[in-house]
Amino acid sequence: MASSRIASRYSKSLLDLAIVGSKLEEVKNDMDAVATICSESRELTNLLNNPIVASAAKKAILTKVFANTNELTRSFVSFLVDKKREGELHMVATNFIASYKEMKGIASATVISAMPMNEATHAKMKKYVETLIGKSDIEITNVVDPTIIGGIIIKHEDKLLDKSVSKELREIRKQLIYN
C-alpha cells in the first residue's frame, strides 16, 4: 500500500510538471515507453531494486535506457534515483498513465475473446463498448483466451459482461445438475 501511495504522489507531481511545462503529450508517450520497458525487462527491475548498486551507476544506466525521452522525463527519473525511489519507477509510470487517461476522459476496457480480433471486429467492438459504457473515447485491449471457447468477455473498471460460450455451458450444467 505504501508503494502505491508513494508512486501516486510522484506521478501526480510529474503530471503537474508536464502540464506547467506544456509537455503533457510528450511525457505521456515517455511514460508509456517507461512502463513497457519496466514490465518487459526483468533485469532492469532487478537492477532498480538492488540496494548494492550505486545510485550513480543506476543513473548512468537509466540515462542510456531512456536517452530518447523528453528532458523532463530524464530529469524526473534522475530525481527518483536521487530520492532512492527508483524501484517505484514502473508504478509511477503506470499511475501517470492512469491519471492522464482520467484527466482526458479516456476509458479503458478489456475484451477477452477466444481468437484475436481483426481490425473490422475491433472497430465494431469499440462502438459496442462505447454504447455500453456511455463514453465516446475508449481504449480497448484485446486479450486472447481460448478457454472461453467462443463469445466475448468485456471488463471495464469493476464491471464484467460475460457472453462467453464457456459461461453458457456452465449455466446449462448447473441447470442439469440441480433439476
Cell of 74: 530524464
Please name the residues in contact with 55: beta carbons below 8 A apart, sequence gap of 6 or more. Answer: 81, 82, 84, 86
- pLDDT, tens only, 103-153: 998 999 999 999 999 999 999 999 999 998 888 889 999 999 999 999 999
Cell of 34: 517507461
Give this prediction's pTM: 0.77
- pLDDT, tens only, 6-46: 999 999 999 999 999 999 999 999 999 999 999 999 999 99
Q: Does residue 42 sit in helix, strand or coil?
A: helix
Is the domain defined by 2-103 classed in CATH 3.40.50.300? no
| CATH 1.10.520.20-classified regions of the chain | 2-103
